[in-house]
Amino acid sequence: MISLTSRVNTRTLLTPEKSSKFVCVNSESIFFAKVKQIFTESIAPLYGSQDKAINQIYESTDRTCELLLDNADDPKGILVYKNALQDEFADHGIKNSLEIKTLMVVKPKENSGKGFGRQLIERINDIATEKVSDGIHVTVSQNAEGPKTFFEHFGFKTVMEWESRYAKGVKEYLLFKSV
């Protein structure tokens, strides 16, 4: 039988001078059900079925999912990024870059404006530095209000835009920031 402690991912990173912390989540984590709930309840209504994304986090072969928890272990933010640095957009000058798959405050209506978004950005900056990446990139959709200007606030610039890459009639933007 697997003990509860062995199922908890021990990579817990306390954010200095804050009562919140980041935990890595995969199939063995006690927080996996929370991640599934966030994708189903908060992200699927914006982007459609998240079954594939949930499964990719469950397997965690090519990506890492981290949850930002408050001192009651209540999730306040979610971060998913690719483990390997990417050259997919080398033609656009984006090489050796950390790809953000998801960066979102959980229940934004309740939790936005409280500094959780900043903590997510600071965490991804730290990861980019740890991985010695040249930069960080992310794709955002016109559908989701807020993320594009949020990333721009933290120095990301639009490198490319697509008219209907993800969904017909919906603009998508490739944003990049040097590290």
Ligand X SMILES: CC(C)(COP(=O)(O)OP(=O)(O)OC[C@H]1O[C@@H](n2cnc3c(N)ncnc32)[C@H](O)[C@@H]1OP(=O)(O)O)[C@@H](O)C(=O)NCCC(=O)NCCS
Q: Please, which residue, 32 or 39, has the CB nearer to ligand X?
A: 39
Regarding 146 and contact with ligand X (CB under 6 A), the answer is: yes
Q: What's the min distance (Å) between Cβ of 74 and ligand X?
A: 15
Which two tokens mark 133? 């990446």
How many amino acids of this chain bind ligand X (CB under 6 A)? 19
Q: With contact defined as beta carbons under 8 Å apart, do 76 and 105 qualify?
A: yes
- Sequence-separated (6 or more) residues with CB below 8 Å from residue 27: 58, 59, 60
Regarding 108 and contact with ligand X (CB under 6 A), the answer is: yes
Tell me, residue by residue from 16 to 55, as one string, x for binding to ligand X by CB under 6 A and - for no binding: ------------------------------x---------
Regarding 102 and contact with ligand X (CB under 6 A), the answer is: yes
Q: With contact defined as beta carbons under 8 Å apart, do 176 and 159 qualify?
A: yes
Decide: helix, strand or coil at residue 171: coil
Regarding 149 and contact with ligand X (CB under 6 A), the answer is: yes
Residue-by-residue DSSP string for 149-169: HHHHHTT-EEEEEESSSSSTT
Regarding 117 and contact with ligand X (CB under 6 A), the answer is: yes
